[in-house]
Amino acid sequence: MIKSKNIVSSLITAGLGLGMSLGISGIAKAEVWDMPLAYSGSNFHSVTAAEFGSCVTTGTGGAIEIVTHPSGSLIKGADIKRAVQTGQVPIGERLLSGHQNENAIFGYDSVPFLATSFDDADKLWQAAKPSIEKTLADQNLTLLYAVPWPPQGLYFKKEINSVADMDGIKFRSYNNTTTRLAELTGMLPVVIEAAEISQAFATGVVESMVSSGATGYDRKIWESLTHFYEVDAWLPRNYIMVNTSVWNSTSEANQNVIRGCAELAEYAGTWRSKEYTGFTLAGLRAGGMTVEPAGDGLQNELKDIGATMTADWLKAAGADGQAIVDSFNAMQ
Ligand code: PCA
């Protein structure tokens, strides 16, 4: 007993000696934080997340190494939030409105025609942030940053001039709002992750969607579709969350580094999203697509449908939802 204790203590002494000769930081155990992302590595959100990761790794002197895993390769998009909540991974990125089925408040950014520009989307985010942070905090999640997608428009493989023209079209949806939009326009919704849409369009499983020029561009959608109508329906957000227990066991110094990197990432990601808007619409055109604003008739019909969907959302989101809209309107 005494002998083994001696062995242990001499091992510890040897270890410390070795550590000192290497320099303590040389043996400090780096934590690896695997960070699942739902979208492809080339997407601007994923590029921003990778830069955020390097910023944290550099800023913490290698104590926390963030490794991003794009395209749902580590955890599928729909499972990322649960994986972070339960501590399967410490950190991850997800489309916020993907959680509307849990709580309508998460869909604040997909209310049709409420915020249709980057400036308004930013104001709406400021109005919604406290509620979102609180809702996430109740689920063991700490919000780090959030970045908007470019404005959402409609993709088709034929010319569309009215809602009647959409009847019976198979439609790819990515959250409750987009499923509801399909239903109200007579289309047939199927939920498909962005990482899987190239194949879904190529095989004809779906033939239409609402999304940004960015997603169509990333997925080379011109190989399957012909028209993009700029509707500017809303600008949904991706957000980065960290498991709160992991966060609480992170040193204050490292938390400060992470917060700083997050602020930088939100700024850089938003800037990229703006730049990417024109760039990707030009890319769709270069791919041979017709890219234009929806005609007045179609736009008016969509506004009516949007009003129905707004009323539905306000009903589902209750007083918290109304407070977000009121505070957003007060900023106008
Ligand atoms: N792209 C994502 C969400 C919004 C967007 O522009 C997608 O289509 O899944």
- For ligand 1, atom 7, the nearest C-alpha belongs to 194
Helix ranges (DSSP H) in the chain: 2-22, 24-27, 44-59, 80-85, 118-137, 176-184, 197-202, 213-218, 244-248, 252-286, 296-330
Q: Of 45, 80, 100, 174, which is best to mutate to test ligand 1, by the most ligand atoms within 8 angstroms of its C-beta?
A: 174
pLDDT at residue number 100: 96
pTM above 0.95, yes or no: no
- For ligand 1, atom 3, the nearest C-alpha belongs to 211
**At residue 126, does pLDDT exceed 50?**
yes
pLDDT at residue number 28: 57
pLDDT averaged over every residue in the chain = 93
Q: Per mean pLDDT, which range of 48-52, 129-133, 193-197 is the poorest?
A: 193-197
CB within 6 Å of ligand 1 — which residues? 95, 149, 174, 194, 211-212, 214-215, 236
Confidence of residue 173 (pLDDT cuts 50, 70, 90): very high
Domains of the chain listed by start with CATH number:
2-102+117-148+237-280 (3.40.190.170), 153-233+281-331 (3.40.190.170)
**At residue 2, does pLDDT exceed 70?**
no
Q: Residue 235's closest CA among 92, 74, 123, 89?
A: 123
Cβ 70 vs Cβ 43: under 8 Å: yes
pLDDT at residue number 232: 98
Alpha carbon of 211 to ligand 1 centroid (Å): 5
Cβ 161 vs Cβ 298: under 8 Å: yes
pLDDT at residue number 323: 98
CA atoms within 13 A on the CB side of 191: 10
